[in-house]
Structure 1
C-alpha cells in the first residue's frame, strides 16, 4: 500500500489569494516596513515586519489576538499567507513560520507590487 503525501505549495497566486480573501478566511501578514505599509496595503492584512515574524508568531493565542486583533492561526492552517513588496522577504517570513511549525504557511510571491497593479491602486 502506498501513501501519498501532498505538501502544500509554498506560494500562492494572486487569484488564489483573492478567492481566499473573498471567502473572508485566511490571515494575510504584510512583512514590509511600516513606511511601506503606510503607502498602501492589502485590505485586512496584519503588519508584522519580517524581523519580528519569529517572535510575534511565537506569542500565545491570547497575546497574538490582543496585539493583532485576529485569532492566531493553527499550526496546520493552510490559510496563513505572508507577503512583502516583491516576494523575497515574504519567502523568508514563510520559511521562518514553517520553522516554527506553521508547516502550510505560504508566500504571496507577487507581493504588494503585483497586488496594487492588478487592483488598480
Structure 2
C-alpha cells in the first residue's frame, strides 16, 4: 500500500477551527499525557480497531467523545513519527471509514 494522504498543520488548523475535522492522537496514553494537540482524542493505536468497532454508547462511555461516523468528512490521525498514524489511517480505511478523507497529519 502507498503512504496515506496527509494534511498539513495549517490546513488542519483551518479544518479544526471550522469544526470539520476529528483529530486522533494514536500514541500511548503516557505520550499523550505529556502533551498533545488541543482537541485531539487519544486512542492508542493498539486500541483503535476495537474502538472503531464499538457501539457508539460504549465508545462515548470509554472515551468521553462521540464515536466517529463512517461518513465523517475529515478524520486525521497522528503520532510521534508517523508510523502509528499511518497504521491508524489504514486501519480506519479498512474498517469502512471512507465517507470523507482519512488522513495522516504531515510530519514536521
The reply to whether TM is greater than 0.5 is yes
| Structure 2 match to 1:118 | none
| Structure 1 match to 2:5 | 10
Aligned pair count reads: 103
| Structure 2 match to 1:74 | 69
1:1-121 correspondence to structure 2 within 5 Å: 10-103=5-98, 104-110=101-107, 114=108
Whose Rg is larger?
1
Deviations 1:63-119 (A, max 9, x none): 112222222222122221110012111011000110000123111132xxx3xxxxx
| Higher strand fraction (1 or 2) | 2
State how far apart, in whole Å, the 2-side matches of 1:31 and 1:87 are. Answer: 10
Contact kept, 8 Å, 1:83 with 1:90, in 2: the verdict is: yes
Unmatched segments (≥5 aa) in structure 1? 1-8, 115-121
Give the SS at the match of 2:11.
Answer: helix
State how far apart, in whole Å, the 2-side matches of 1:109 and 1:15 are. Answer: 10
State how far apart, in whole Å, the 2-side matches of 1:66 and 1:34 are. Answer: 17
Give the SS at the match of 2:77.
Answer: strand
TM-score, scaled relative to structure 1: 0.77
Note the aligned Cα RMSD (angstroms): 1.5
Contact kept, 8 Å, 2:85 with 2:104, in 1: the verdict is: yes
